[in-house]
Amino acid sequence: MKRDKGRGYGADDTLSDNEIVDIILSGRSELYRMLIERHEKKVFAMGRGFFHNRDEARDFTQEVFLKAFHALPRFEGRSSFSTWLFRIAYNQAVNGKRGLKEYVSLADEGDAAGVEAVSFDMPERELLKKNIKEAVRIAVRELPEKYRICIDLSFFYELTYEEIARITAFPVNTVKSHILRAKRILREKLSVIGGAYET
């Protein structure tokens, strides 16, 4: 007997996002919870990047998933669901009360990037790791806004150039250029900051 993919969804993590979308559109709207559980952390992180406040980021996350749910019939599957969702989130943030100039990298969010306060009681290796994280934080903070969003989507969200282009509406070559320039700037800044830590 052919198995109903939508039945017993809570234990079935083998379904792809696009398969879940198809089942939702066939009438199983309760499966939308699976998509929320898979992607809400990254949408929330993007909200933190733009709004710098947990409560506003939570409201932003709810608004994005509500907007995406109502837009599901227009999802054509030409990109991954996550790329399509992040595009909605990015537009919601940039076109809302916050512009791209307000964006703060995940590297600058201590809890998102795993940066903790430096203590001189730490073992030398741990202290070095904290110093490196702090150096990355400082370097990323000084990047131009358009570079920060591209490097975040590439590094933290692990998206391809093509996916980033779909989300930001930057041409693919522009995305490549922004990321390469950002990496070059980061290398230069980290070499200077690293030298400062060694002195």
- Residue 188, pLDDT > 60, answer yes
pLDDT in tens, 189-198: 777 655 544 5
Is residue 118 scored above 60 in pLDDT?
no
- Cα-based distances in Å from 147 to 50, 83, 154, 175: 15, 19, 11, 9
Is residue 113 scored above 70 in pLDDT? no
Phi and psi (nearest 5°) for 112? Answer: -75, -35
Model's pTM, two decimal places? 0.71
Q: Where along the chain do its domains lie?
A: 14-103, 107-199
Under CATH, to which class is 107-199 assigned?
mainly alpha
Q: What CATH class does 14-103 carry?
A: mainly alpha
